[in-house]
Amino acid sequence: MSETPELSGPSRRVRRNRAIAAGLGLAVLGVAVTAGGMAIGSHTGRAAMASVAQTSTPSPTAAPRPTPAQVVAPAAVPTFDKKARSIDDPTSIWVVSDKLRPLNPVDFVPPDLVDVPVPHTWAPQLRKEASDAVVALFAAATSEAGLTLASNSAYRSFDSQTSVYNDDVAANGRDAADSLTARPGFSEHQTGLAIDIGADSGDCSLSACFASTAEGTWLAANAWRFGFLLRYPADKVPVTGFEFEPWHYRYIGTDLAKEMHDKGVTTLEEFFGLPAAPNYG
């Protein structure tokens, strides 16, 4: 009876093939694990690098301004000098005379009075500078607007002003006179710088209606160009102390007249910061 071969498990060949397959499987697994690790590491590295890049990127800042080679001082803006002339000296063309500011001396006589060669009611005199300005003013009214102006009154001495004031008091009473006529020693006419202007026709002379005439309208708009100020405006009675006189012009010089016109200031009291003078002190 022959012997049956002993069942001793897989043959050597089979075991070898299995070992090879197992080895190959482990190798494949190792490669996969390595590749995965590399992929994960690569992703993590890129993220870290991006984070570092974001952290290390400087914030944008404004470019520094260049320093000039030479510092230039700002240009000085010219300002009007209110102290260039005296407002107290009666010989100054800026002298301010009102109910609180009598002339000093009260019987002052201007040193350079001249006859003014313009049409007139009463022969006018003014200080030389003011006279020349009146001649130019009257000539411009004719050449620019076809108007003929006339002087109704100009320089009045202390004695003449005393007579005019007393006549006004006698006719209208002291209170009314004080609103219409300056007392002697307080009058702008005594400075030789003031003139009462009207139409040569006499229309509305020394009356409030003169403001509505062609002559009055032209003067109100243009007198400043020649150095004159409408001294007693209608809306400034509480400041000047006198009723509206659209005929009364005061010479102050072209520089001051232009400055007041440009600034829109209409009284000397306001321009020079003086107290209002509605009443005598």
Would you name the residues annotated as active-site residues? 245
Q: What are phi and psi of 207, to 5 degrees?
A: -130, 155
Q: What are phi and psi of 146, to 5 degrees?
A: 70, 25
H helix runs in the chain, sequence order: 12-56, 128-145, 158-172, 174-180, 214-222, 237-240, 254-263, 268-271
Rounded (5°) CA angle 112-117-121: 105
Give the helix/strand (H/E) hosting 206.
Answer: none
Q: What are phi and psi of 191, to 5 degrees?
A: -75, -20
Distance, CA of 232 to CA of 189 (rounded, Å): 13
Distance, CA of 102 to CA of 280 (rounded, Å): 10
Q: What residue type is 174 in one-letter code?
A: R
β 248-251/149-153 pair status: unpaired
Q: Are 134 and 116 in contact (CB under 8 A)?
A: yes
Q: What residue type is 4 in one-letter code?
A: T
